Amino acid sequence: MMKIAGVEVGDRPLILAPMEDVTNPPFRKFCKKYGADWLYSEFVSADALVREVNRSLQKLTIDETERPVTIQIYGRFIDSMVEAAKIVEAVKPDFIDINFGCPVKRVAAKGAGAGLLRDIPLMVEMAKQVVKAVNIPVTAKTRLGWDCDNIIIDSVAEQLQDVGIQALAIHGRTRSQMYTGDADWEPIGRVKANPRIKIPILGNGDITTPQKAKEAFEKYGVDGVMIGRATIGKPWIFKQIKHYFETGEILPDLSVAEQLSILKEQIELSMDWIDEVRGILHMRRHMAAMFKGLPNFRDLRIRMLQANDKESLWQIFNEIEERYQ
């Protein structure tokens, strides 16, 4: 059983990666139900927390059933990151994570997220000050480097460990790659094999099947595997991976009826979390990712993704179940 500062996070833990507008409490609940060992929140702006922006404060909501759970923060200024970390500490997550990896322009171009890969001294000092400011474990998530000419993760990992970061998640791409191309796990494995590295190393990038998750542990030696985009529309992927680890068998895909049952419950939780219209809107990316491979599904998919009230959506779900039972 792996522990970080005394907190148990599972044996070969499968971790829900932080994703903006995805890993909110309703979705985290489903991932936990289907076997996720460790959950991450959406990333939260430090500046917005300091300004007490309601939407950002809402992202700090956690439930006891989610543990272990991490709240992730990002920002470009040390002072606001320190203050935000103290605000987060007050809601008592198991860990605070610093986002050094978000590649999107509105974050990285302002010097936050992956933007800090262009200023390693600032990144390290930020980590050091956040660690000093709180009494709960601080972890970090980053990428291999800014671009392929600057793969600096080996040095970055050592420096972050040296200032008190207690686990490091590494996405196997550079910032310039965004989410294109294949994730490169070789540098992740190299960091894990570095005898100077004593903290847990978590691998992230392109874990879409049980076989890839197994390879991450066995070939690259990581302490935990983080799964992001593959969970969208498929929170049961954690259960499939664990079944494969235990038996070597691949679980068959869920039936249409089973997927609909899960989807309905997710939508109900999403509507309760926000409201009916926005709750359904928030779920569209999950709906779009489901029911892959169904023949002659285009018309129903279009209608499903255009529906904006529960009654209309449930009627479409009934049609889907009748057509594909």
Annotation marks residue 148 as catalytic: no
| Alpha-carbon gap, residue 234 to 232, rounded angstroms | 5
Give me 155's structure tokens. 């040095």
Which residues does residue 145 pair with via DSSP β-bridges, in sequence order? 151
Nearest to 178 by CA among 132, 248, 127, 229: 229
Candidates 102, 108, 260, 290; catalytic one: 102
Q: Cis omega (within 30 of 0) on the bond before 68?
A: yes
Q: What are phi and psi of 42, to 5 degrees?
A: -60, 160
Output phi, psi for 74, to 5 deg: -140, 155
Task: Give the position of tokens 């992202």.
Answer: 59
Q: Give the other-Cβ count within 10 Å of 33's Cβ.
A: 15
d(CA 22, CA 24): 6
AA identity, residue 296 = N
Neighbours of 257 (CB within 10 A): 11
**Tokens 């950002």 belong to which residue?**
56
What is the Cα–Cα distance from 165 to 161, expressed in whole angstroms? 5
β-bridge pairing 2-4 and 7-10: antiparallel
Distance CA 170, CA 242 (A): 22
Query: Would you say 225 and 188 are in contact if contact means Cβ atoms under 8 Å apart?
Result: no
**Strand, coil or helix: what is 12?**
coil
Q: What's the distance, Cα to Cα, between the start and end of the chain in Å?
A: 42
Q: Give me the active site residues, please.
A: 102
